[in-house]
Amino acid sequence: MHTFDSCLKGLTVVLLVYLFRDVSALTKPSSVRLEDNEYSGVIVAIHPDVEENGMVIESIKNMFIEASTVLFTATKLRSYFKNVTILVPDTWADNDSYDSPKNASFEGADVIIASRNPRFAPDPQQPAVPYTKHYEGCGRQAAHIHFTPEFLLDPHPSYGSLGRILVHEWGHYRWGLFDEYPDAIGDPDFYQEFYFDPETELYEATRCVKYGWHSEPVVRDEEGKYVTCEGNSTVGYENDCFSSPASTQPSVKASIMYGRMGIEELVEFCDSPNAQDVMLRHNAHAPNKHNRLCDSESSWEVMGRHVDFNNGNNLPRSPTLTHDVTPVFTVSRVRPARIVMILDTSGSMATENRYLKLADAARNFITSVALDGSYVGIVDFDSDGVIIEDLTMIDSDETRHRLAESVPEDANGGTCIGCGLQKGLEILTENDANPEGGVAVLISDGQDNGGNEDFRNEMKEEYVEAGVVIDAVAFSNTAEETLRDLVHETGGTLYLQTDDPGSDGLHAAFQATMERNVKEYDRRIVLLSESSFYNVSESKERGIFIDSTIGRKTAFEFSYFLDPIPESAALEVVLKSPSGERIDKTYPGYGTDETFQVVKVSINGIAEPGAWSFTVTNTYHSAHEIFTTVSSYASQEGVDPIIATAELSGSIINITDPEPFIAYAEIRQGFNPVIRANVFATIERPPDKYGFHYDPIILQLLDNGAGADITRDDGIYSRYFTNFTGVGYYGIKINIDNNDGSAVILLHNSTVPYTPYSGALPVIDPDELLSGNIPMIGNATLWVPGTPVPEPEHVQAPYFTRGVSGGSSRVPDVPAGWQPGDDITAPNKVIDLFVSASSFINGTVTLTFTAPGDDLDIGTATYYVFRRSESSLDLQINYTLIPAINDSDIIHGDPLSPAPFGVREEFMFQVPIPASPVVSYAFAMHAVDETGNEAKMSNVATAELREYIPQRPPITTTPPTPPSSVSPPVNYKLIIGLSVSGALLLCVIIILVAYHKSSRWRAKYDPNAKHSDEERNGAKEEHAYDNVCVDDLNKS
- Domain residue ranges in the chain: 524-631, 834-946
Other Cβ atoms within 10 Å of 186 Cβ, number = 22
Do the Cβ atoms of 184 and 242 come closer than 8 Å? no
Query: What is the distance between the alpha carbons of residues 1017 and 999, in angstroms, rounded to a whole number?
Result: 10
Phi and psi at residue 752, to the nearest 5°: -130, 160
Q: What is the pLDDT of residue 493?
A: 86
Which residues have C-beta within 8 Å of that of residue 765, sequence separation ≥ 6?
244, 246, 247
* pLDDT at residue 386, rounded to an integer: 97
Span 524-631 CATH architecture: Sandwich (2.60)
CA distance 632 to 643: 10
pLDDT at position 477 is 81
- CA distances to 74, 304, 529, 562 from 164, in Å: 10, 21, 45, 62
Q: Does domain 834-946 have CATH number 3.40.50.300?
A: no
One-letter identity of residue 922? A
Whether 48 and 89 have beta carbons less than 8 Å apart is answered as yes
Rounded Cα gap, residues 126 and 936, in angstroms: 42
Cross-sheet strand order for the sheet of 794-796 = 642-643, 668-669, 672-675, 744-746, 794-796
CB-based contact 927:878 (threshold 8 Å): no
In DSSP terms, 1017 is beta-bridged to none
Residue 401, helix vs strand vs coil: helix
List, run by run, the mean pLDDT of 10-residue segments along the chain (1036 residues).
38 38 45 96 95 97 98 98 97 93 89 74 61 88 92 86 97 95 85 92 94 91 90 92 92 93 95 94 95 95 97 96 97 95 95 93 95 96 96 96 95 94 97 92 85 88 94 84 86 88 88 87 92 96 95 97 93 98 97 95 97 97 96 93 66 66 87 90 89 91 91 88 89 85 78 47 87 75 76 86 83 87 92 95 97 96 98 93 97 98 98 90 97 96 90 53 37 37 44 42 34 32 34 40
Pairing label, strands 571-576, 610-618: antiparallel
Three-state DSSP class for residue 464: helix
CB under 8 Å to 217, separation ≥6 — which residues? 194, 205, 228, 229, 231, 232, 237, 241, 242, 243, 244, 1022, 1023, 1024
